[in-house]
């Protein structure tokens, strides 16, 4: 990452007009406007729809294999964000994997606390499973969406449903007890809108009175045995660095095939900034290759 790229990325973060700590309705609108201001590439089509009673956005890049599906979950601390706002990153990952993406507009807290998001994720997965073999389905998500991927995998295992071929999580938020050391040690290095103070405000919105150490709220405390291959990507300049590292350690302890990629000196969900950050493009290519490999293995 060159000095010029660092400066460009710092400028992007300074101009973001939203915060995770503010009024949810106001910040949702600000986030939506900011993240949809840049048009998608001309070869990307997005189609709103409903699967399992849940709103979704189907994202296709020209030439991808629509018989393979990546079910995607946007970030936003379970309170902000939408499939439309996250379509750029989801489309970029679909392009690299060569597959169709179904991005899920799961219900948001505080209006819909736990387990609404997991229930919606499960409903969409069941609907996709009716049309597509599990060996041709993968899961991915960023930040809170990465946590939702892990929670959905736990729910699928509990119910005895067919598991997807693999999962890719980008800077996953998987510890809502906020106990990771990087929550404080990386606070000054992380330039993103994700702050310890903001997370402390948002956690109760999602919990709805539940214990934050509940395994499908904070999957680092879960038994991950039997889950499909996982790729976890994170930047070393993230307050969520320890979330990713401990998730990988927990997966390894339960004999899951897991790959952890820590990219030095990059911020939260750095893959979204691939246009101005070489490491972002490299990470997306690696994630796409991982997904393709495991689709092929389970063909």
Cβ–Cβ under 8 Å, residues 244 and 260:
yes
Instruction: Give yes or no: 82 in active site.
Output: no
257 tagged catalytic: no
Asked if 243 contacts 180 with a C-beta cutoff of 8 angstroms, the reply is yes
DSSP, collapsed to helix, strand or coil, labels residue 123 as helix
Catalytic residue of the set 103, 238, 279, 294: 238
The C-alpha atoms of residue 220 and residue 247 are separated, in whole angstroms, by 5
**Candidates 143, 167, 171, 218; catalytic one:** 143
Pairing between strand 54-61 and 99-104? antiparallel
143 in catalytic set:
yes
Question: Which member of 182, 268, 279, 294 is catalytic?
Answer: 268
User: What secondary structure does DSSP assign to 133-159, as a single string?
Assistant: -GGGEEEEEETHHHHHHHHHHHHHHHH
Chain centre distance of CA 169: 5
Q: Which residues are part of the catalytic machinery?
A: 143, 238, 268
């Amino acid at each position: 990452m060159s000095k010029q790229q660092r400066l460009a990325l710092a400028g992007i973060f300074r101009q973001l007009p939203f915060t995770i700590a503010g009024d949810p309705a106001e910040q949702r609108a600000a986030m939506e406007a900011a993240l949809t201001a840049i048009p998608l590439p001309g070869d990307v089509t997005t189609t709103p729809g409903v699967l399992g009673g849940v709103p979704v956005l189907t994202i296709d890049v020209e030439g991808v294999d629509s018989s393979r599906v990546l079910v995607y979950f946007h970030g936003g601390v379970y309170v902000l964000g939408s499939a439309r706002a996250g379509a750029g990153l989801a489309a970029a990952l679909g392009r690299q994997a060569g597959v169709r993406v179904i991005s899920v507009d799961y219900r948001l807290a505080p209006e819909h606390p736990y387990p609404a998001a997991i229930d919606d994720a499960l409903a969409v997965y069941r609907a996709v499973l009716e049309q597509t073999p599990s060996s041709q389905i993968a899961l991915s998500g960023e930040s809170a969406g990465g946590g939702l991927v892990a929670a959905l995998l736990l729910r699928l295992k509990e119910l005895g449903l067919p598991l997807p071929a693999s999962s890719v999580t980008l800077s996953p938020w998987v510890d809502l007890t906020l106990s990771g050391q990087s929550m404080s040690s990386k606070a000054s290095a992380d330039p993103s809108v994700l702050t310890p103070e903001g997370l402390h405000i948002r956690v109760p919105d999602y919990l709805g009175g539940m214990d934050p150490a509940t395994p499908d709220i904070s999957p680092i405390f879960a038994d991950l045995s039997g889950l499909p291959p996982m790729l976890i990507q994170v930047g070393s300049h993230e307050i969520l660095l320890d979330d990713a590292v401990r998730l990988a350690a927990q997966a390894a302890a339960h004999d899951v095939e897991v790959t952890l990629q820590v990219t030095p000196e990059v911020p939260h969900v750095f893959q979204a900034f691939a246009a101005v950050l070489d490491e972002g493009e490299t990470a997306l290519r690696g994630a796409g290759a991982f997904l393709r490999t495991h689709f092929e293995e389970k063909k």
